[in-house]
Structures are given as C-alpha cells and as structure tokens.
Structure 1
Amino acid sequence: MIEHIRTSNVQRFTGFGTLYDESRPTAPQEMIKILTAYLGNKPQTVVDVGCGTGLSSFLWLNDAERIIGVEPSDDMRAVALAKWENMNKPEVIQFVKGLSHELDLPSNSTDVVTCSQSFHWMEPQSTLREFARILRPGGVFAAYDCDWPPVIDWEIEQQYTKLTSLGDKRAAQLAPKHEQAHKWNKDEHLKQIQSSGLFRYAREIVFHNWESCDATRYANLALSQGSLQSAIKLGAKELEAEAAAFRQLVGKVFAGEERSILFGYRMRVGIV
C-alpha cells in the first residue's frame, strides 16, 4: 500500500517542473538563520529531501559546505540540474534521485535535513527514522511549508481556494484509487516528530516573508498546485475555463503592476 502511495506521489509532479520553478517562492533567510542557530555553527552538510527544482537547495549555497538535493521526480530534478549547469556546476551542491525513507548516505553524516513543502508527501515514521539515522548528534531536521494562498486581496484569495479545491475534487474523482496521491496532514508534522521518539527536542516556529509579484506569477502559483495539474492531465477540461477566469481576475486586481504579497511559513523542527 505504502509503495503504491509513494509511486503516485512522485508521479503527481510529472510535467510541470518549469512552471513550478518559475512560480513558487524561495524560503527567506530566516529559515537558514534559525537552523544554523540551533545547530550552533555553519553546517558542513545539508540534505534537502524532496528538493523539487532546487529552490530550497540553492538557498544554502553560501551557508553550507556541502548541499545534497534529493528528488525522486525526474522532471523536477532535471530543472534543478539545468540551473546547476547554468551556474557553472558549483561543486558544493549536487542533486541525486532518491526517496526519503532510503537515502544513500552514511549514518551520522549530516548536520541539517530539510523538507521544503514536501514532508506531507512522505510516509512520516519511516522517513523520520531515516533522517535520524543520517543526522549527527545535535543535528537538525526541519519541515517547512508556506500557507496557501499568499496574502494579497480577499477576492483573489477566495477564488484561489475555490480553484484549488475544485482541482482536489476532480483529481480524486478521475484518478483510479490505486493511482491517487496521498498527503499526510501538515498540522500533524510536529506530532509525528514528537511521537517518533527520535528527537530530544521539537517545536513549531512561524515566520513570514514579503515578495514582489506580478499577475502572471500569482496566477501561476495556483496553477502550479499538483491537484490542478493532475486533474487537467486526467481530462478535467472545465478547469481550464476556471483557471482562465482566475487569471483574468488576478490581472484586473494587479492592473499591470507588481504587488507585494505575503507568504506565511510554518516550520517544524526536531533536534536529534
């Protein structure tokens, strides 16, 4: 059962790596400051699991001696590798194919493990056991996510939620049960860390970040949600009209200008 879920969760992100990379936010520097403070020094090795297109991996380039981005989706990892090549292949960072519960890394070899917008796609207890195995004593695990939708305008946010909820509904209706992706509840991340018995300290930290955004990017933030992409791929053509209407509303509110939007973040931390 779990293997079916893992396969379906990986396949969910096929075909829209570029859209994802161009739209999604990069976590703020506060995340690095917090984790480095908990570690007590600059990390030698950071492992970013479920790294997607590398947004959350490249963030560490100046703040870690070695960064390993782990991503099972070939489409997502290809975008990360293309960016790496355009940066003249910095040796400090590498991207590998892998799953969260079976990392090809030695025990006690890692200072920080992160999951950016990804831990809810992983079976939590087998994943946490693997993270605890590769972390050095005193090492830090952090699962962090931003709240959707980003703050901008109540009508846009209302329609964003309506559109993505419809995507969830249609994807569930159209996909065969054994092919449906499964998300674990983000609100239980901290409980999963605490109940694993693998971490001597755990807590949740909330912070936020303002970003500049235009209408195209804001609309694409909604369209980069996996549920919408899955439903459209499965034949939910009516979502294309809903997406077009959403894009039109966003364009009207932005009126050709860039606006500041606010991303709220929730980070669940565990110290081994």
Structure 2
Amino acid sequence: MNEGVNVPMIENVRTSNVQRFAGFGALYDQNRPTAPQEVVKLLTTYLQRKPQTVVDVGCGTGLSTFLWLNEAEQIIGVEPSDDMRAVAVSKWEASNKPDNMQFVKGLSHELDLPSASADVITCSQSFHWMDPQSTLREFARVLRPGGVFAAYDCDWPPVFDWKIEEEYKRLLTLGDARALELAPTEQQAHKWNKEEHLQQIRSSGLFRYAREIVFHNWETCSAERYANLAFSQGGLQTALKLGADELREELTAFREQVNEAFGGEEREILFGYRLRMGVV
C-alpha cells in the first residue's frame, strides 16, 4: 500500500474491492468493450516472441482473456469475484472448453503460480483495484526474464456527444458519492490513482524498462449499450445495492437522453486506451 494513502486496513480494502463487483457480471460482460487486438500486438512487440503463458489478472468476465486464445500456448484468467468469474467460465464452456485456457480464483498479490513461469501478465481495467507494490512484486516473481507486465484502461465516458458525456460523468460522480455516503467505512472500496500506474511500475525497481502507450478503438454501439456502459460502473451499482433508489430516476432520464441522441440508429463511439507497461 502506498505511503500517505489514507485507506483502511489493506485486507478490508481487498475484500471491499472484490465485493464491489458482485451481482452484475452479465450486465458488465454484455456492454463493456472487448480488449482491442492492439494489446496483443504491442505486448508481443516488446516480448519479441509469441508468449507461452499469459496471465490475465483481475480478468473479470474474460473480456481481456479471450483476446489471447490463438496468441499464446497457455492462458490463465485470475479473478477473485465469483460472479465475474462464473460469467467467464460460462463463455469458456460455450467456446468448446479450449484446453489452453483456464479461469481460477485468486488475488493479485498471491498468485498460485511458479516463479518465472509467465511471459505476459495483464491487468485490464483492474490494476487500480490492487495494492500496487505488493502486486508488482508478485508479478515480477511470476514473470520470466524479459517478460512484460501491462495495465491498460479505457477512458470514461467513450467519445460520442459532449452533452451526453457530461451527463455520463455527472451520473458516475453521483453514484460514487452516494456509495461513499451509504457504505460503512470498513466496507468502502478503494481505488488507486490510474495516473500513478506508470510511476508505481518505475518506483518498484523491479522493471528494467517502463513506458505509457496511448491508443484507441472504434466500436459500433446502440443507445441501450451506451446507457448500460454507465449503468455497469461499480459506483452506481454499489450505491443501488446499498439502497440509493433515487438513482434509478437519474438512470431513466439518462437513458431517455441517450435514446434521443442516438435517434434510433447505431452509432460509432471511440474508446481511448492508456497502457502502462514494464519489462522485467
């Protein structure tokens, strides 16, 4: 845990962060963006070979895990949330159970993997929920020499219309605030600052090279999906689970605004990505 970060005991934080994602795995999986193929191209460029083993930590519903299906000899998705992992396993079963992929329960700071056994470790939309320094020590242990770690996230909201984006951000801020008000202190989730990911990698002293790469991906989107992207955010989901029913009216109003903006048609939206990586 970072010095100067005023958070509860780290074990409570880990438990609360896992619980934040309980109960909406299907909604998350159906609406969140699939990890773009550029991730594979970028990381294999730095690895300089096809990876034998890729470990996707905090893999959620597998949106960032299946990306590697034909790109690595072995793929391991690690996810502590039973709800999220169950969706990933269901997708794996529906894909004829590829024998080079598995999903396991685990936490980032104590992976049940041998030392020097992985070529690539990724955290897609997840590293900010992990204690960075203990996690990076564990990743450095598991990676082979020359292996690559990458934490990558997309910016919210996706690019579409400035008025809709303003409402999206307002809704997320409201959800986070209500979740903070309603959750007992010992049950509050803690999010580490994404803007400090690169510095965390560098200051760990575990990586010989580190940098940030920015890229983007266009996707076709319906009004329903765009509204559900906001609805799938953890702060809103937490606030609703804790009884902030007044947010449902806000969500309904947002859906109406999105429907009007989309005009009954699918639209192209852009997801901007920031990837912070290190080579051991």
Normalising TM by the smaller chain, what interval? Answer: over 0.9
After the TM superposition, which residues 180-219 of structure 1 pair with which residues of structure 2 at under 5 Å, given as runs?
Answer: 180-219=188-227
Structure 2 counterpart of 1:102, one-letter code = E
Counterpart-to-counterpart distance in 2, 1:231 and 1:28: 30
Report the equivalent of 2:264: 256
Counterpart-to-counterpart distance in 1, 2:37 and 2:111: 26
Structure 1 counterpart of 2:121, one-letter code = V
Q: Of 90, 93, 111, which residue of structure 1 is paired with 2:101?
A: 93
Counterpart-to-counterpart distance in 2, 1:255 and 1:81: 36
Moved over 4 A (4+): none
After the TM superposition, which residues 118-267 of structure 1 pair with which residues of structure 2 at under 5 Å, given as runs?
Answer: 118-267=126-275
Structure 1 counterpart of 2:278, one-letter code = G
Q: CA deviation at 1:148?
A: 0.2
Counterpart-to-counterpart distance in 1, 2:268 and 2:101: 31
Gaps of 5+ in 1: none
Q: CA deviation at 1:92?
A: 1.1
Report the equivalent of 1:102: 110
1:73 aligns with 2:81: yes
Structure 2 counterpart of 1:183, one-letter code = K
User: SS of the counterpart of 1:266?
Assistant: strand
Gaps of 5+ in 2: 1-8
Deviation digits for residues 198-242 of structure 1 (CA, Å, limit 9, x no counterpart): 000000000000000000000000000000000001010110000
Q: CA deviation at 1:63?
A: 0.7
Number of matched pairs: 272
Structure 2 counterpart of 1:143, one-letter code = A
Counterpart-to-counterpart distance in 1, 2:126 and 2:201: 15
1:54 aligns with 2:62: yes
Counterpart-to-counterpart distance in 2, 1:129 and 1:212: 39
Q: CA deviation at 1:127?
A: 0.1
Report the equivalent of 2:16: 8
Q: Of 37, 40, 50, which residue of structure 1 is paired with 2:45?
A: 37
Report the equivalent of 2:3: none
User: SS of the counterpart of 1:20?
Assistant: helix
Counterpart-to-counterpart distance in 2, 1:227 and 1:147: 16
Deviation digits for residues 123-156 of structure 1 (CA, Å, limit 9, x no counterpart): 0000000000000000000000000000000111
Q: CA deviation at 1:174?
A: 0.3
Report the equivalent of 2:4: none
After the TM superposition, which residues 9-28 of structure 1 pair with which residues of structure 2 at under 5 Å, given as runs?
Answer: 9-28=17-36
Counterpart-to-counterpart distance in 2, 1:174 and 1:89: 41
Counterpart-to-counterpart distance in 1, 2:48 and 2:211: 17
TM-score (norm 1): 1.00
Deviation digits for residues 174-208 of structure 1 (CA, Å, limit 9, x no counterpart): 00000000000000000000000000000000000
Counterpart-to-counterpart distance in 2, 1:250 and 1:60: 33
1:82 aligns with 2:90: yes
Q: CA deviation at 1:23?
A: 0.6
Identity of paired residues, percent? 76
